[in-house]
């Protein structure tokens, strides 16, 4: 009986392990990268204003000067909750899907197409789980850009979630979910599929180890940024918008937001703040993946 219970516990841990490791890795990376993310959001939201700076150092210095140093960590509680939901789900699901693909292939290498499908699916499902926290994060970070009388002044992520449900209804927690899901799918395609494929190719040519993991994660960070920024731009604008006095919204949806942006600001507006976005996404991707690899290596050695 004890052997059966032990075997059952090990089976449960084996299933949960990629989810736990994914969540821990994502939350740690977010705590480190949060100030850069704050500056990225401000650049995206203020970019359409005449004379607004897109220089991350200038924007960051202004935030500190006008709102204090801790303003750079505004929304950290929402960011951590987002990682605890979104990243836990997407990394755990991706590992699960990849292992399933190995089984389908009878132990042969997983193909790039299979990795792409796994990344897209895991990203989309994870985004649905994490959208409420993501919405809270964007609003908390954007609050300082609004006139004082229009600020929401959420005190933390749980206050934000509670007020959104009370003031706007439960379904409002999934406001902007479509661009969030599309953005997550594109980011995970660039991040997870690229990282797995790059690491597999590097391990065939060089001795497996930290160097290969580092190079693969760097590739993953670049392609994750390149694929996802336009969708992140639209998502941020949709989640930040407030109703007009007559109750209407500036954007009817993600397509309308994209069309209005192209008409008013041109197509290159979607890549506004790319250096800052890359500086935020790439280190987060690299930290998350390297930490995940480290935890998996530790688990193999210690059971």
Output Rg (C-alpha) for the chain, integer angstroms.
Answer: 20
Phi, psi of 115 (to 5 degrees): -65, -40
Percent of the chain predicted with pLDDT > 90: 41
Separation of alpha carbons 82 and 126, rounded Å: 10
Say whether 140 sits in a helix, a strand or coil. Answer: helix
Q: Strand, coil or helix: what is 214?
A: helix
In this prediction, what percent of the chain has a pLDDT beyond 70? 95
Residue pLDDT, tens place only, 40-80:
878 877 765 666 777 888 888 998 999 899 888 888 888 89
Q: How far is residue 218's CA from residue 199's CA, in Å, rounded to a whole number?
A: 11
Residue 125 has pLDDT above 90, yes or no: yes
Confidence of residue 203 (pLDDT cuts 50, 70, 90): very high
pLDDT digit string, tens, across residues 142-182: 887 788 888 888 888 899 999 999 999 999 999 878 888 98
Q: pLDDT tens for residues 24-34?
A: 999 999 998 88
Give the pLDDT of residue 220: 93
């Amino acid at each position: 009986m004890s052997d059966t219970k032990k075997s059952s516990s090990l089976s449960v841990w084996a299933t949960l392990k990629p989810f736990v490791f994914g969540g821990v890795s994502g939350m740690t990376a977010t705590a480190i990268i949060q100030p850069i993310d704050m500056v990225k959001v401000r650049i995206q939201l203020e970019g359409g204003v005449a004379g607004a700076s897109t220089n991350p150092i200038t924007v960051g210095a202004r935030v500190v000067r006008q709102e204090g140093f801790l303003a750079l960590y505004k929304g950290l509680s929402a960011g951590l909750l987002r990682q605890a939901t979104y990243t836990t789900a997407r990394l755990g699901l991706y590992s699960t899907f990849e292992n399933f693909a190995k089984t389908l292939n009878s132990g042969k290498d997983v193909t790039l197409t299979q990795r792409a499908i796994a990344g897209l699916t895991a990203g989309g499902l994870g985004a649905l789980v994490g959208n409420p926290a993501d919405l809270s994060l964007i609003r908390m970070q954007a609050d300082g850009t609004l006139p004082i009388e229009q600020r929401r002044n959420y005190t933390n992520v749980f206050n934000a979630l509670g007020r959104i449900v009370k003031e706007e209804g439960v379904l409002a927690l999934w406001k902007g979910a479509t661009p969030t899901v599309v953005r997550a799918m594109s980011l995970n395609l660039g991040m997870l599929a690229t990282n797995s494929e790059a690491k597999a190719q590097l391990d065939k040519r060089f001795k497996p180890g930290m160097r290969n993991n580092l190079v693969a994660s760097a590739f993953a960070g670049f392609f994750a940024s390149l694929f996802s920024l336009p969708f992140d731009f639209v998502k941020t604008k949709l989640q930040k918008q407030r109703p007009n006095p007559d109750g209407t919204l500036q954007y009817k949806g993600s397509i309308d937001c994209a069309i209005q942006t192209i008409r008013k600001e041109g197509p290159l507006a979607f890549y506004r703040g790319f250096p800052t976005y890359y500086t935020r996404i790439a280190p987060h991707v690299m930290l998350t993946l390297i930490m995940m690899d480290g935890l998996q290596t530790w688990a193999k050695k210690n059971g």
